[in-house]
């Protein structure tokens, strides 16, 4: 059983990597270097000063921008979701702001904030905010009326109500919004650096491409992909903690239908 599951888990990835390795082994194509050379370039390029100079600042900006967007989105979303009138008032405006493809905000924000760290963080905030905000509004709006009545009868109000009822009830939608925001945040982190920057992950990778440092460029693509995968794994670990009750509840509901 364990053997079978391991094969299912690692079989196809191993085959794919091996196929890439073998197919590219003797490659003399300038654009498609052997995987061995890409991996060597990966080690030489990213395990050193670049990790501190380019990778860490990019991730720090992502972390700051994402956190600000998360806090602001949840706070505004709770306020708007709790009031039907405010919701009706803001809905068309929010629908429009959400529909703007976030990357077009890069030139707009550059205009206002130059090309420094502030610009990149602002770009990430302005892109990540909407999915969090709109999903929070939806989650708060859909709080079960019986639970809301229960809270009223037992005089559960103020921050206790916020923490134990509103935020928890809306948490499945908030997590959905946060997941969408994370993938938008990664896109914006990379392209804000590709578009206008002198350092950072996106900048460095594009720089490799422009100077035809092909194995290094491939290694950069690999690193970006790896970061995406690691961030998504981290997100899932957090989700499993926050939404453990929700997945359990859903499993019970599915089992009994």
Partner 1 sequence: MKAWLGVLGLLVFGGVLEALPRLGLVPAGYLPPPSRIAVALADQAHQPTFWAALGDTLRTWLTGLAIAVAAGLACGVVIGSVPLLREATASTVEFLRPIPSVALIPLAVLLYGTGIRATLLLVVYAAFWQVLVQVLHGVGDVDPVARDTADSYRLGRLARMRYLVWPTALPYALTGVRLATSVALVLAVTGELVIGTPGLGREIAVAQSSGAVPAMYALVVVTGLLGVAANLVTRAAERRALVWHPAVRT
Partner 2 sequence: MLDVAGLRKVYEGQGHRVEAIADLTFRVGTGEFACLVGPSGCGKTTLLRCLAGLLAPTAGMVRVDGVPVAGPPPELAVVFQEYGRSLFPWLRVRENVELPLRAKGLPKARRQSIVDDALAAVGLADAGRAYPWQLSGGMQQRVAIARAVGYHPRVLLMDEPFAAVDAQTRADLEDLIRDVWRRLSVTLLFVTHDIDEAVYLGQRVIVLSAAPSTVDADLAVDLPDERDQLSTRADPRFTDLRTQVWSRIKRTTALEASP
- Phi, psi at residue 84, to the nearest 5°? -55, -35
Residue 105 · residue 130 · CB < 8 Å: no
Asked if 144 touches partner 2 (CB under 8 A), the answer is yes
Q: Candidates 111, 158, 241, 256: give the one binding partner 1 (CB under 8 A).
A: 111
Asked if 74 touches partner 2 (CB under 8 A), the answer is no
Distances (CA, A) of 69 to 64, 177, 196, 243: 9, 11, 22, 20
Site for partner 1 in 113-172 (CB under 8 A): none
State the sign of the Cα–Cα–Cα–Cα dihedral 215, 220, 226, 228: negative
CB of 75 to partner 2, least distance (A): 20
CA 255 to chain centre: 32
The C-alpha atoms of residue 76 and residue 46 are separated, in whole angstroms, by 39
The residue (of 30 and 154) whose beta carbon lies closer to partner 2 is 154
Asked if 100 touches partner 1 (CB under 8 A), the answer is yes
The residue (of 59 and 162) whose beta carbon lies closer to partner 1 is 59
Asked if 173 touches partner 2 (CB under 8 A), the answer is no
Question: Cβ of 39: how many Cβ atoms within 10 Å?
Answer: 15
Joined together, the tokens standing for residue 172 give: 């499945």
Question: Interface with partner 1 by CB under 8 A: which residues?
Answer: 8-13, 16, 31, 85, 88-93, 95-108, 110-112, 183-184, 186-187, 190-191, 194-195, 202, 205-206, 208-209, 214, 217-218, 220-221, 224-225, 227-229, 231-232
Question: Interface with partner 2 by CB under 8 A: which residues?
Answer: 144, 146-147, 149-150, 152-157, 160, 164-165, 168-169, 171, 245-246, 248-249, 252-253
């Amino acid at each position: 059983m364990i053997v079978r599951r391991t094969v299912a888990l690692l079989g196809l990835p191993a085959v794919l990597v091996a196929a890439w390795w073998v197919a590219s082994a003797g490659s003399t194509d300038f654009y498609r270097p052997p995987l061995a050379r890409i991996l060597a370039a990966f080690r030489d390029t990213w395990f050193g000063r670049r990790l501190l100079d380019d990778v860490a600042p990019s991730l720090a900006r992502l972390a700051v921008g994402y956190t600000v967007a998360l806090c602001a989105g949840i706070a505004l979303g709770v306020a708007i979701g709790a009031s039907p009138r405010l919701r009706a008032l803001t809905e068309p405006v929010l629908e429009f702001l959400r529909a703007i493809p976030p990357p077009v905000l890069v030139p707009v924000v550059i205009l206002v904030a130059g090309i420094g760290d502030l610009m990149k963080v602002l770009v990430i905030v302005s892109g990540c905010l909407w999915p969090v905000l709109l999903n929070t509004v939806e989650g708060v709006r859909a709080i079960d009326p019986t639970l809301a009545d229960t809270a009223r009868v037992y005089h559960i109000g103020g921050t206790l109500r916020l923490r134990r009822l509103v935020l928890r009830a809306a948490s499945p939608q908030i997590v959905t919004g946060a997941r969408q925001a994370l993938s938008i945040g990664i896109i914006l982190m990379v392209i804000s650096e590709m578009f206008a920057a002198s350092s950072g992950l996106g900048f460095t990778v594009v720089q490799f491409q422009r100077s035809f440092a092909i194995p290094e460029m491939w290694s950069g693509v690999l690193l970006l992909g790896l970061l995406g995968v690691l961030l998504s794994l981290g997100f899932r670990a957090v989700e499993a903690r926050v939404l453990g009750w929700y997945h359990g509840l859903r499993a019970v509901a599915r089992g009994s239908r």
